Amino acid sequence: MPSNNPTIVLTGDRPTGKLHLGHYVGSIQNRLKLQEQHDNCFYMIADIQALTDNAANPEKVRENTTEVVLDNLATGLDPEKTTFFIQSQIPEIAELTVLFLNLVTLARLRRNPTVKDEMKQKGFGENVPAGFLTYPVSQAADILFCNSNLIPVGEDQLPVIEQANEIVHKFNSLYGETFREIKPSLTDTPRLVGIDGQSKAGKSLGNAIYLSDTPQEIEKKVMKMYTDPDHINLNDPGKVAGNVVFTYLDAFAPDKKEVQELKNHYQKGGLGDVKIKRYLIEVLEDFIAPIREKRESLSQDPSYIKEILIKGTLKARESAIETMKKVRHAIKIDHF
Ligand code: ATP
Ligand code: MG
């Protein structure tokens, strides 16, 4: 349907490590769906954001820039349908961030539940890098520089989207209607738990199964998975809620009926952890194998990856220049 106000989709990953199953179910599966439904889709490698807590590790961020692109291409994100670009190559995002910083307070940033959680996880305390504390502002600029309004994200990012919308409202009320309301796009599994049962599988947490893991790594991780600590003897009734093996089966097993039967049996007693783990290993290997193979073959051609990024970044830059014209005019800093 042609429209003067089309939906623009934007999503991204921090290049802090390879991508894992949480990324797939939390965000990538929606990226794949949305690129079929909308003409304007952007995928950003958030390297500037990754540096906010990795300033001393630029090599890590650089290396993982290629890794996250490979992961996305291997799962089916299509550079013909989705514009791939690198955050650091769009200087207008930094300019927009500086302007947005005036529209939020430090107190509000400190109250952001995602930032609070992540600061605790990283043990920053009062020594939090200013760039890290303000990353939601830079994320608002990532979203708004290309006028995007639909964002496939995991649940952990909802408070960041909420804060971006506050920036939209503040900007529009001070300088006139310029930006649109932003909507998150969530999947049925907006937060995949870690293999240790922790609330979120995260690449900085070391508790995830990666889209590039070998069959041996998958097996080792599933065998270590948190199940029901009270399920000691085979004939004891076992708990399904909070049992990571069943959480992953719910997310990845194609045969839902079989999963339901396993759950019933486990709850009644008589089904061992090793049996359900073996089943999950098979399910995950079937899911990951084609991604791993495609990734391997894509990694043989670095010039193809570079070409995608150069082309995409040039296209994203065009939007950035247009948006900044409007923004400078609205804020009355369009001097020359
Ligand atoms: P880091 O620990 O460096 O922050 P991360 O694993 O949280 O890494 P990000 O690059 O921050 O990954 O997130 C990319 C996208 O994937 C975001 O939309 C985020 O909400 C989503 N995501 C990350 N982890 C999960 C998860 N466990 N379940 C669902 N979605 C997730
Ligand atoms: Mg994260």
Whether residue 242 is contained in a domain is answered as yes
For residues 155 and 221, membership in a common domain is answered with: no
The total number of residues written for the chain in this structure: 336
Instruction: Give Cα 160 to chain centroid, integer Å.
Output: 12
Strand arrangement of the beta sheet that strand 40-45 belongs to? 83-86, 40-45, 8-13, 150-152, 183-185
Question: How many other β-carbons are positioned within 10 Å of the β-carbon of residue 4?
Answer: 4
pLDDT band for position 3 (cuts 50, 70, 90): low
For residues 269 and 152, membership in a common domain is answered with: no
Q: Give the closest residue (by CA) to ligand 1 atom 25.
A: 22
Whether residue 75 is contained in a domain is answered as yes
Q: Give the closest residue (by CA) to ligand 1 atom 20.
A: 154
For residues 164 and 277, membership in a common domain is answered with: no
Give the burial class of 318: count Cβ atoms within 10 A of its Cβ; 0-12 exposed, 13-18 middle, 19 or more buried: exposed
Q: Give the closest residue (by CA) to ligand 1 atom 11.
A: 14
CA of 200 to the centre of ligand 2 (A): 10
Q: Would you state the pLDDT for residue 1?
A: 39
For residues 310 and 252, membership in a common domain is answered with: no
CA of 314 to the centre of ligand 1 (A): 26
For residues 14 and 96, membership in a common domain is answered with: yes
Q: Would you state the pLDDT for residue 212?
A: 97
For residues 228 and 177, membership in a common domain is answered with: no
Residue 236 structural domain = 215-295
Mean pLDDT score across all residues of the chain: 96
Average pLDDT over residues 197-222: 93
Q: Return the CATH number at 105.
A: 3.40.50.620
For residues 86 and 111, membership in a common domain is answered with: yes
For residues 257 and 319, membership in a common domain is answered with: no
Q: Give the closest residue (by CA) to ligand 1 atom 18.
A: 153
For residues 32 and 154, membership in a common domain is answered with: yes
The C-alpha atoms of residue 297 and residue 264 are separated, in whole angstroms, by 41
Whether residue 87 is contained in a domain is answered as yes
Whether residue 13 is contained in a domain is answered as yes
Average pLDDT over residues 177-198: 96
* Ligand 1 atom closest to Cα of residue 155: 20
Average pLDDT over residues 85-96: 98
Residues with Cβ within 8 Å of residue 264, at least 6 apart in sequence: none
Question: How many other β-carbons are positioned within 10 Å of the β-carbon of residue 321?
Answer: 11
Whether residue 205 is contained in a domain is answered as no
For residues 35 and 177, membership in a common domain is answered with: yes
Residue to mutate (ligand 1; options 27, 45, 151; most atoms within 8 A of CB): 27
CA of 154 to the centre of ligand 2 (A): 9
The C-alpha atoms of residue 13 and residue 268 are separated, in whole angstroms, by 42
φ/ψ bin of 76: left (φ > 0), alpha (ψ from -120 to 50), beta (otherwise) = left
Question: How many other β-carbons are positioned within 10 Å of the β-carbon of residue 24?
Answer: 24
Whether residue 269 is contained in a domain is answered as yes
Domain count, the chain: 2
Whether residue 200 is contained in a domain is answered as no
Q: Is the separation of the CB atoms in 201 and 195 below 8 Å?
A: yes
Residues with Cβ within 8 Å of residue 316, at least 6 apart in sequence: 42, 44, 83, 85, 90, 145, 146
* Ligand 1 atom closest to Cα of residue 203: 6
* Ligand 1 atom closest to Cα of residue 194: 27
CA of 234 to the centre of ligand 2 (A): 38
Protein residues whose CB sits closer than 6 Å to any atom of ligand 1: 13-14, 16, 22-23, 26-27, 153-154, 156-157, 190-192, 200-204
Question: How many other β-carbons are positioned within 10 Å of the β-carbon of residue 42?
Answer: 22
Average pLDDT over residues 128-137: 98
* Ligand 1 atom closest to Cα of residue 204: 2
For residues 230 and 183, membership in a common domain is answered with: no
The C-alpha atoms of residue 60 and residue 23 are separated, in whole angstroms, by 19
**Total-model pTM:** 0.95
Q: Is residue 28 over pLDDT 60?
A: yes
Whether residue 336 is contained in a domain is answered as no
CA 53 to each of CA 9, 25, 134: distance values in angstroms, whole numbers, following the listed order: 26, 25, 11
The C-alpha atoms of residue 61 and residue 58 are separated, in whole angstroms, by 5
